[in-house]
A and B are shown apart, each in its own frame.
Chain A
């Protein structure tokens, strides 16, 4: 291991090494492709900002945003994960699996404890696509915030259909993000039949693209997955795509 921290372990035996927790936090940053694309802010988006990951079905949009969430959670920033497709248990599995992919090699009770402490920074809400609206989300959020149960720093909305939902919903969500000082990430499902535009923004997304501060695209090339910035990078950031490990959606280690 490259970290140089004193660390030893046998099967099933833990030797308490607190540095492991810092190591895992660093690893989440080091292997997070979004953070490595060269966006200035540690959380990529500022308060009130909107960001989106664009890709065809099954390429790994959710996994990528779960990494964004894990980064915030491990830095004690609350994340609200809104899923319009999956049940709570399924969303929970995304997080567990990704965390274990990263933490697996440490394999200690410390990691379990750390995960349990991290879990309080995540809240999953699922809606039916047809039942989802900005006022409904705000109503739920108010329930949580008024009782001091949860105030999100980052919101992830997975499964919103951009070609069907108009600009109005996005504008409402952007206003809400600003009002509550949150940043919202979306997954955007792009269609294979849609020819890519010059600037990389698909036609079906163009009507709302200006509302977004950051856009990144995931593309599969055979067994390879690349991540490429489309919008919002700082001028001096690298423009090349980064290659990802398709099983974990982390930067290839």
Chain B
């Protein structure tokens, strides 16, 4: 019997920071009866939202780790992933997107499409995740959902169509008009749990009809049946209309827009209906794995629970009962006691406990069928690993992982802290591929690397709270890079004769800049001037030289090495000799190739009341920023700029005091760019001081 997955939805909730995602999740859990009381993000009861289970999340009022939960709505099983809004935690959003079939894009009816919404939208595009939009906070002063719909069209290029219109706005928000059923919907009871439908108020009827026409128009592109009904002027029944909108939504060619106020308990239930009616079931989405036995040929997975298992571990958590591995099953069924293989290392594992997560609580289940999201206990793996049935050798396509742009030295206070810190770092690096750590061989300091100040800040805080690892932190360091700007030739002979076997190797060629690769090695030697067996040693020598520039000691990128001549000695040449010759050749040519330092540039977007626009621009200007533009949106304005990361430390405090706390900003890595001469000199001075102090 074929398993019917049409009643399963795996959805994410993503948006700009402070759009109310977690509040919305809380309402979803309440209306689907997963929780029995509503706790707000920064509520007076001090409990905090259910989905923000980490103490730090509750304290700061932001979502750090995405929590997974499942709930049921009108016979549909919905797995919800709440994702963080801050850009430093983008990897969490990326991971969620990879395993989700659909998403709710939450937008603020006052703030509209903000910078982070654009980032999230790009991620949705990358993973082709169909979405519906929910315009939240319609109870706020200045709420204008139709302006947000316009922005969805203009800024994100969505074919956004309203599924509803609001009944009243701001403090007068009473409910919504459902443009499919053409009914007014109100939300009664203490928590809006009683949905009451009425006739549309007379004063809204004309507007509702006009907006319904637009909705039908947009939907008719996806259904011949609907077009026919329009032409024949037949009554359009809701099911036909929903079916057409769903088709468009799955193709990502239409974005149905719902609206309301999660905080005021209005509009959430119709949005849940939208999730079940419009977003895809697992088998509606094409998921692809790579067949490792057939040269990574793409294989379309079928969501069939009777087939061998193909699943992806997309998140790890180290809880009180051991490591918890969040997993999405794409094909087959993972049951208690079944054996699965980690494709990365070939290790076989027996599945112990299988659970479904509900924020920080869990529920034991017997199995997870294809299409489900759940968690496994006691499975040793890294985030992003693929698990399959024995005999299958497929891997899910890897996730995009951005490189870290900032680092920080951390020093444990004592021996006990040292042990705890090592344990914490081991866990964090496993959980989060954008968080990296290493020990600086010169200073012996432990360096942590990540995506921004807040990112590292949170991990240091978690180290203290969860592992009692007291650490002191140094100043954040920017991930500078070096590159060359012109071609330089080399002809280097490595010769050593100090008793015993000698060393000899000569390498000639040139290095030159390359734009879209970190390192390119080309062997143009003909006639065996360097015997073939030594070529890999030459490449290794050059590659090793790239790890650290000879002067400033930053990693070198964008270099092509071409070797075209050389010499070897029948007795004295060896791999080691040619590696040393390559290092010498690189040193010889590098400084003549006019090296320069590149620094990470961040895309900074500040949203501020118009009266502070001047000071916001002044602050960016003082920080070597280039203002790309300003967007005047009435009372608010948006300033977009590119600013070196090195200048952004402490920016939030300065911005807050310059704008009476009314401006907010987001930043994300944009590109590497050459530093100006004056800054390069300062960096060189710092590097030499560091060298001296180490010595």
Min CB–CB distance A84 → chain B (angstroms)? 10
| Closest chain A residue, CB of each to CB of B512 | A13
Once bound together, how far apart are the Cα atoms of A136 and B630, in whole Å?
13
Q: How far is the CB of A139 from chain B (nearest CB, A)?
A: 9
Known: A12-B514, A16-B487, A147-B618. A123 touches B631 (CB 8 A): no
State whether B629 touches A125 (Cβ < 8 A): yes
Chain A residue at minimum C-beta to C-beta distance from B562 = A13
Which of A109, A148, A149 touches B515 (beta carbons < 8 Å)? A109
**CA gap between A92 and B614 in the complex, in Å:** 21
A87 CB to closest chain B CB (Å) equals 5
Question: A13-B560, A109-B513, A109-B515 are known contacts. Are A124 and B614 too (CB-CB below 8 A)?
Answer: no
Q: Are A143 and B626 interface neighbours, CB within 8 A?
A: no
A88-B631 in contact (CB<8A): yes
- Cα A125 to Cα B628 in complex, Å, equals 9
Residues of the A chain whose Cβ atoms lie less than 8 Å from the Cβ of B560: 12-13
Is B632 engaged at the interface, CB distance under 8 Å to the other chain?
A: yes
Nearest chain B CB to A46's CB is how many angstroms away?
Answer: 27
Q: Does B571 contact A (CB under 8 A)?
A: no
> Could you mark each residue 667-683 of chain B with 1 if its beta carbon is under 8 Å from any beta carbon of chain A, else 0?
00000011000000000
Check: A237 CB closer than 8 A to any chain B CB.
no
**Bound complex: CA of A89 vs CA of B121, how far in Å?**
15
Contact call B632/A14, Cβ cutoff below 8 A: no
| Chain B nearest CB, measured from A146 CB (Å) | 8
Tell me how far the C-beta of B76 lies from the nearest C-beta in chain A, rounded to whole angstroms.
37
**Which chain B positions have C-beta within 8 A of A15?**
487, 512
Contact B629 A131 (CB under 8 A): no
- Check B487–A91 contact: CB distance below 8 A: no
A147 touches B487 (CB 8 A): no
Residue among B118, B155, B513, B630 making CB contact with A124, cutoff 8 Å: B630
Kindly identify which residue among A87, A123, A127, A144 contacts B155, using a CB–CB cutoff of 8 Å.
A87
Write the chain B residue with the least CB distance to A149: B621
A82 to B170, CA, bound (A): 32
Cβ of A69 to closest chain B Cβ, rounded Å? 13
A143, B632: Cβ atoms closer than 8 Å = no
Annotate A81-114 by CB proximity to B: 1 below 8 A, 0 otherwise: 1000011110110000000000000001100110
Interface residue? A120 (CB, 8 A):
yes
* Chain B residues in 8 Å Cβ range of A146: 614
Chain A, residue nearest B483 (CB): A109
In A43-76, which residues have CB < 8 Å from any B CB?
none
In whole angstroms, what is the CA distance A136 to B155 when docked? 23
Q: Does A243 contact B (CB under 8 A)?
A: no
Q: Are B515 and A88 in contact (CB under 8 A)?
A: no
Q: Which residue of B lies closest to A112 (CB)?
A: B515
Q: Judging by beta carbons under 8 Å apart, are B617 and A120 in contact?
A: no
- Given A87-B155, A143-B614, A149-B617, A131 contacting B512 (CB threshold 8 A): no
Chain B interface residue count, CB cutoff 8 Å, equals 33
Chain B residue nearest to A137 (CB atoms) is B632
Chain B residues lying within 8 Å of A128, measured Cβ to Cβ, are 632-634
Q: Is the interface of A mostly helix, strand, loop or mixed?
A: mixed
Q: Are B629 and A124 in contact (CB under 8 A)?
A: yes
B529 within 8 Å of A (CB atoms): no
Provide the bound-state CA to CA distance between A130 and B433, in Å. Answer: 47
Pairwise interchain contact B629-A126, C-beta atoms closer than 8 A? yes
A140–B613 contact, CB under 8 A? yes
Q: In whole Å, how far is A160's beta carbon from the nearest beta carbon of chain B?
A: 14
Specify which chain B residues have a CB less than 8 angstroms from the CB of A242 in the assembled complex: none
**Contact in complex: A92, B628 (CB < 8 Å):** yes
| Whole-angstrom CA separation of A92 from B621 in the bound complex | 19
Query: Given the complex of chains A and B, what is the CA–CA distance between A126 and B621 in angstroms?
Result: 19
Known contacts A87-B154, A108-B515; A147/B614 CB under 8 A: yes
Q: Which residues of B contact A88 (CB under 8 A)?
A: 628-631, 638, 640
Q: Using a CB-CB cutoff of 8 Å, which residues 222-242 of chain A contact chain B?
A: none
User: Which residues of chain A have C-beta atoms less than 8 A from B209's C-beta?
Assistant: none
B613/A143 in contact, CB under 8 A? yes
Write the nearest CB–CB distance from B59 to chain A, whole angstroms: 35
Q: Which residues of B contact A210 (CB under 8 A)?
A: none
The answer to the question of A119 belonging to the interface, with a C-beta cut-off of 8 Å to chain B, is yes
Q: Is the CB of B633 within 8 A of A120?
A: no
Mark out the residues of chain B between 516 and 559 whose CB falls within 8 Å of any chain A CB in the assembled complex: 516-517, 520, 558
By beta carbon, the residue of chain A nearest B622 is: A147
Query: Which residues from A are CB-within-8-Å of B689?
Result: none
Q: Is B485 an interface residue (CB 8 A)?
A: yes
| Bound Cα distance from A87 to B115, whole angstroms | 12
Inter-chain pairs besides A92-B628, A123-B627, 11 sampled, C-beta below 8 Å: A12-B520, A87-B154, A87-B631, A88-B640, A92-B629, A125-B629, A128-B632, A136-B632, A143-B613, A147-B621, A150-B627
> Which 7 pairs of residues, A with B, have the shortest CB-CB distance?
A124-B629, A88-B629, A143-B614, A16-B486, A127-B632, A126-B631, A147-B618
A sample of 8 inter-chain contacts (CB < 8 A) reads: A12-B516, A12-B560, A87-B631, A88-B629, A88-B631, A91-B629, A124-B628, A147-B618
